[in-house]
């Protein structure tokens, strides 16, 4: 990624729907050149333009981070749990946990059901610690190039 690609990313982080007629001049390109650059970034899978929601403001009132200890390959457990709509993301890690899983559920009893009936029942899960969210304090998707 060169300086122009990075400038395009910074502009998209401010407004993911910025028109090419505005984007181009902001990054030193014509609108058509900006469109081609962005399309190249998207085609290479370096960039994905998506809408980001706050589940807590959209009716999903219960979020939690689950710390899992796994017997065997944590990638297998991550693949299995990722098939469930409650799972927002999974992170393979090291240290006290093998895997972190962020989940979003409608109500606290839905979280309890998901942890007990799905997560604990998944083959390879040795233990689960649940860290419920009270609120989302900071939520960034910014990338700052060096």
Q: Each residue of 103-122: pLDDT tens digit?
A: 999 889 999 999 999 999 99
Average pLDDT over residues 116-130: 97
Provide the pLDDT confidence category of residue 143 given band limits of 50, 70 and 90.
low
pLDDT value at position 114? 97
Structural domain spans, the chain = 3-43, 55-132
Q: Kindly report the number of other CB atoms within 10 A of residue 45's CB atom.
A: 7
Report whether CATH 1.20.1250.20 matches the domain 3-43: no
**CATH top class, domain 55-132:** alpha beta
Which pTM does this prediction carry? 0.66
Q: Residues in the chain, how many?
A: 146
What DSSP state is assigned to residue 79?
H
Question: With contact defined as beta carbons under 8 Å apart, do 127 and 69 qualify?
Answer: yes
């Amino acid at each position: 990624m060169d300086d122009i690609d990075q400038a395009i990313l910074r502009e998209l982080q401010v407004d993911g729907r910025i028109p090419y007629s505005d984007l181009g001049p902001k990054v030193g390109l014509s609108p058509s050149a900006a469109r081609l650059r962005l399309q190249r970034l998207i085609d290479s899978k370096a960039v994905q333009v998506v809408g980001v929601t706050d589940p807590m403001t959209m009716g999903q009132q219960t979020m939690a981070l689950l710390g899992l200890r796994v017997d065997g390959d944590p990638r297998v457990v991550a693949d299995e749990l990722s098939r469930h709509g409650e799972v927002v993301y999974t992170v393979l890690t090291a240290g006290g946990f093998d895997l972190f899983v962020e989940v979003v559920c409608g109500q606290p009893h839905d979280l309890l059901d998901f942890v007990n009936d799905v997560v604990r029942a998944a083959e390879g899960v040795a233990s689960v610690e649940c860290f419920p969210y009270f609120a989302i304090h900071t939520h960034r998707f910014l990338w700052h190039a060096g």
